[in-house]
Structure formats: C-alpha cells, structure tokens
Amino acid sequence: MIKGNVGEWSEIYAFFKLLEEGKLYVGNALLERTEFFYPIVSILRNEGEGQNENQYSYEGNLIIVSGTKPEIRIPKKKIAEMSTILLGEMNKSKGSFNVKEVEQFMKLMHCNTLKASSKDKSDIKVIVHDSKTGLEHNLGFNIKSKLGAASTLLNASKATKISYKLIGMNASLQSKANEINPFKEKFQLFEQKNIEIKYHDIANKVFKNNLTMVDSSLPVIVSELALHHFKGKVSNVLGIMEEIKKSNPLEFDVSTGHDFYGHKVKRMLTDMALGMVPSKIWSGEYITSGGYLIVKEDGDIICYHIHDRTVFENYLFHNTKLETPSTTRHGYGKVEKVGNDYFINLNLQIRFK
C-alpha cells in the first residue's frame, strides 16, 4: 500500500496535472499564473536506483509511456480523472493516507513510489519547448505544495545561530531580561534601557563563509533580518527588507537609488532554494537543475525556474518569512556574560508564506 501526507502526494498530483494540461505556466511574484507558458514535450521519471527513466510523451489525446517496461498508451482524460480524485483527497485528508484508486492507476503508469528517484535532487524533470529559441530544455523542479503545511527554505539548527553584543547591559538587567520569554517584550526592555544591540558573529564558520561566498555583506544583512524579526515588528522578508533599506546599517551610497540590500538577499534566497545549506561547504553549484513547481490551494500549478532568474528571485523575495524556532531545541535567546561583555544569540529560520 502506498501512503503519504499531502506534501508527498502533491508530487504525484503535479505529475498527473502537468501531463493532463501539457503546458507549464510561469507564475509571477504574487503566485499568480501568467499568460506565458512552455509547451511540455515530455516528462521524465526515475522509479529507483539503477533503473532507466520512464518517459511520458504525447500522441494526440494519448500519453505514451516508454522506458523500463513495454510501451503503453493511456488517454489524457483518464489522467485528468485521477488528478481530480487525488486533489479531492488531498483537500480533505490529514496525516498519512492512501488513495486506492489512484494507487492502482499509478501502477498502470509504471509509478511505484510517491517520490521519484533523482541524482540531481529534482522532484520532477520536464522537457519543454522554448518558442523563443526553438530549442527543447530539460528543466528540473522541486515541488512545493500550498495544500499542506508551508515548507521551510532554511531550517534552524545550531549552525544558524547569530551572536549579538549587548552594549550597556549589566548583571541586574541580564537577570530581568532572562525572565522574559516573548522576544518582543525582551527587546522592548532593551530599548527602554538604551541597550545597543550590535552584530558580533555567526556561530558556525561554514555558514558564515557560505554567506560571504555569495556576498561579503550577507553576514551583517542576515543578522539584521533576524533582529528585525525577533523585535516583533514584521516577519515577512519583503517587509523586513524595507525597514533595513531605511536604516541602511552598512552605510551604502543609496543616493543613486540602487537596491543593494534587496539584490543581495534575493541572491541568498535563490542559493538557499537551490542547494546552499548552513552546515555544508557551498560550492556555488545547484543541486537541482533549477526551479520550483508550486501546487496552489485550488490545484493550479505554476513554475519558477532559474531559466527565468528575475521571476524566480522575485517569487522567493515576496513569498518567504522569518519565524521563531524552538529556543530549547536550538539553545538560544538568553543573555549570557562572556568575560566582561554580554551577548544574546538569535536563530535564523526562513519559511514559505
């Protein structure tokens, strides 16, 4: 029996839906389908280690399945029927569940698992026709579903701790601050007592150097992102960046209107989306061939791909937020004295809205 949660079933749903539509629509920064689309030539799916890829291509109103087993033909309307059934189940089910009728159809389609095997970590590979160039492109995508819980772009860990020096802190105020749990109230106390909060360091050298490799200013910018979030004023990346642009902590020459902060953060989000993780040395090479498919609440599917870098960056910039991970699990949030100085650690976690 094949069982999975909404996010896992979303991979099969996206596979069916794209085969049914035969078009890969590009989204805008607001998660809306645009008029631009790539005609789908075929979809590739690998069922496991050492197996050849199955190819799903078109012949009129039929889908031709070829690859590891004898070639078969399946009507597109049958695939459309299965995608509708699966969407209905995903909308009403919680936890892990099975859809017997869909599972039987998957076997007919030579699909044995919810998640396809891929060396480059893509959830699905789609060959499209580019009308601008007349060429075909093999595009790899990770699938993100808005039907289930929002997924993380950057998971919190001990590697994502950021250290700040508290100038003007004393032992009495340290004790009082550590009795306060809500971060918003803790930082209100700091403001009332005129405590200056200054970026000190990122705990993990690999993560710090990964950020520096993308842009030398990013460690400071990331510290500002986290600080604005924990102060409780705004959590979405777009809103925080507006505040950082106004305060201009790195004192860039903004007289010419250059969006230094937005540009650097978009690059960072893109690299995080396509391979950079805090605890592993970042080579600059993407682990997928470069994009996301978004399964929306209504079952519509839109794509963002590094092939259209500006659109992809704007999608990430407009659709991510910071959140507060567990303080006990990740060990941060208390004012600590080191030598004669006082510090506080905050932790970075970025999630899709």
Query: What digits encode the pLDDT tens for the residues 92-130?
Result: 988 899 999 999 999 999 888 888 776 657 889 999 988
pLDDT tier at 1 (50, 70, 90 boundaries)?
confident
The percentage of the chain sitting over the pLDDT mark of 70, rounded to a whole number, equals: 96
Distance of alpha carbon 156 from alpha carbon 147, whole angstroms: 23
Per DSSP, 151 falls in state: P
24-45 pLDDT, tens per residue? 999 998 899 999 999 999 999 8
> What confidence score (pLDDT) does residue 48 get?
66
Are the CB atoms for 291 and 304 separated by under 8 Å? Answer: yes
> What confidence score (pLDDT) does residue 16 get?
97
Total residue count of the chain as it appears in this document: 353
Average pLDDT over residues 278-284: 91
195-252 pLDDT, tens per residue? 999 999 999 999 999 999 999 999 999 999 999 999 998 999 999 999 999 999 999 9
pLDDT tier at 46 (50, 70, 90 boundaries)?
confident
Nearest to 262, CA basis, from 217, 210, 329: 217
- List the single range of 160-169, 258-267, 283-292, 306-315 with lowest mean pLDDT: 283-292
> What confidence score (pLDDT) does residue 120 get?
59
Per DSSP, 150 falls in state: P
> What confidence score (pLDDT) does residue 112 get?
86
> What confidence score (pLDDT) does residue 47 get?
75
pLDDT tier at 49 (50, 70, 90 boundaries)?
low
CA triplet 315, 321, 327: central angle to 5 degrees?
A: 150
Distance of alpha carbon 241 from alpha carbon 247, whole angstroms: 10
Distance of alpha carbon 20 from alpha carbon 3, whole angstroms: 23
Distance of alpha carbon 321 from alpha carbon 234, whole angstroms: 9
- From residue 115, alpha-carbon distances to 9, 47, 142 in Å are 8, 8, 11
> What confidence score (pLDDT) does residue 269 get?
96
Residue 13 has pLDDT above 70, yes or no: yes
pLDDT tier at 353 (50, 70, 90 boundaries)?
confident
pTM more than 0.95? no
Q: Between 275 and 81, where is the model more confident?
A: 81
- Encode burial over 18-28: b for 16+ CB neighbours within 10 A, e otherwise: bbbbeebbbbe
> What confidence score (pLDDT) does residue 53 get?
83
Residue 289 has pLDDT above 70, yes or no: no
Mean pLDDT score across all residues of the chain:
92
Average pLDDT over residues 253-268: 96
326: left (phi over 0), alpha (psi -120 to 50) or beta: beta
Average pLDDT over residues 9-27: 95
Nearest to 108, CA basis, from 137, 136, 81, 89: 81
